[in-house]
Structure 1
Amino acid sequence: MNSKLEFDSEFCNVRYIENENVVFLTWKKFAHLNNYRTPTLFVLDLLKQFPHSNFVVDARNGFEDDKEDVDWGFSELLPNMSKTDCEYVIFIMPETENLEDEMDMWTKEFGKYFAVVKVNSYEQAISKIHNRIIVNVKYAIKPGKRDEFLEKVIENGIMEASRAEPGNYKYEYYKPVDSEDILFLMEMWVSNKAQATHGKTEHYRRLQSLKKEYVINVTIEKYSASTIE
């Protein structure tokens, strides 16, 4: 059955789930060209139609890896999805090495625009949407060096690279109005694993080098939070 809220074919099913405000795509088998593009464009239309809806993909039966469609997805589909107010893209998938390799290119590309999570079930997907890891960092900077430190962070691509990590939801620096030598960083991650992975990246190591040069002291607060709808 195909309607304004649901698309169904032998290859996949797409439907809008109102109580969760989720666009849910289930792949039934490999699809190519119009069999792949028509339902994913239907996903795009639903994301546009329903404000703040999120995208959940059941990829347990595989996922698109045809080069022609992948190129179309990267150059056409995802940039247009990024213009919606979707925040999360969540993949339901088994932990198998073959599918992990196939999915990595997609999660990395989606991660340029959205917070990306891999889970084992739809229930886990919904839980992830409503729970985030928050890290608040307070930097005490050497006197008169705060702006220079922040400029170096930007020049080294640390903010851009951190925001592009698939598991990142937010990465923002803030200057308090009552101090010239304090800098705050607020991070939001989709899971503890995503935040831990961040600590193993090359851009994180670049940040540590800058901190040795510019920072006197660091205070970190980390906690989990549920979103309020």
Structure 2
Amino acid sequence: MALTINLRYTGSNGNARKFAEEMEKTGTADAIRSEAGNLRYEYYFPMNDPETLLLIDSWESQEAIDAHHATPMMEKIAELREKYDLHMTVKRFVSIEENEADSKFIRK
């Protein structure tokens, strides 16, 4: 059972994009991707809102998320959020097995 966390960052003056660019440029995002239990760590930008950033962050288990949250990297991320004055909303999802009824709507 995987856990997916959608973090929506909002800012101003392009700061959400600058945050993501710094996370990528400094290797912080790649370091998170290489952590045990990380399944996905990807940034997306809404077409109609240049001041928002969506992070989709998926983990194998709650224990993997807890281990990630215990790393010194979290302090760096918090510093960058402050630097770029970003505000967040968070939604958490638990994956389930694919449903046969739903599969007819999924093009693979």
How does the TM-score come out when normalised to structure 1? 0.41
Classify the secondary structure of the residue corresponding to 1:194.
helix
- Write the deviation string for residues 110-140 of structure 1: whole angstroms up to 9, x where unpaired: xxxxxxxxxxxxxxxxxxxxx1111010000
In the other structure, the counterpart of 2:71 is 201
In the other structure, the counterpart of 2:105 is none
Structure 1 stretches of 5 or more lacking a match? Answer: 1-130
Classify the secondary structure of the residue corresponding to 1:146.
helix
C-alpha distance in 1 between matches for 2:39 and 2:85: 25
In the other structure, the counterpart of 2:47 is 177
Classify the secondary structure of the residue corresponding to 1:204.
helix
How far the C-alpha of 1:228 sits from its partner, in A, is 1.7
How far the C-alpha of 1:204 sits from its partner, in A, is 2.3
Contact 1:133/1:225 (CA < 8 Å) preserved in 2?
A: yes
In the other structure, the counterpart of 1:151 is 21
Out of 133, 142, 145, which is 2:3 matched to? 133
Contact 2:10/2:51 (CA < 8 Å) preserved in 1?
A: yes
In the other structure, the counterpart of 1:225 is 95
Structure 1 residues 227 and 161 mapped into 2: Cα distance closer, same or farther (>3 Å)?
A: farther
How far the C-alpha of 1:143 sits from its partner, in A, is 2.3
In the other structure, the counterpart of 1:192 is 62
Classify the secondary structure of the residue corresponding to 1:215.
coil
C-alpha distance in 2 between matches for 1:225 and 1:159: 23
- The percentage of aligned residue pairs carrying the same residue is 26
Contact 1:138/1:183 (CA < 8 Å) preserved in 2?
A: yes
- Write the deviation string for residues 166-221 of structure 1: whole angstroms up to 9, x where unpaired: 11011101011010100000011010110111111122221111001113310011
C-alpha distance in 2 between matches for 1:164 and 1:148: 22
Q: CA RMSD in A?
A: 1.5
Q: How many residues align?
A: 99
Larger Rg: 1
Structure 2 stretches of 5 or more lacking a match? Answer: 100-108
How far the C-alpha of 1:162 sits from its partner, in A, is 0.7
C-alpha distance in 1 between matches for 2:84 and 2:57: 20
Higher relative contact order at CA 8 Å, sep ≥6: structure 1 or structure 2?
A: 2
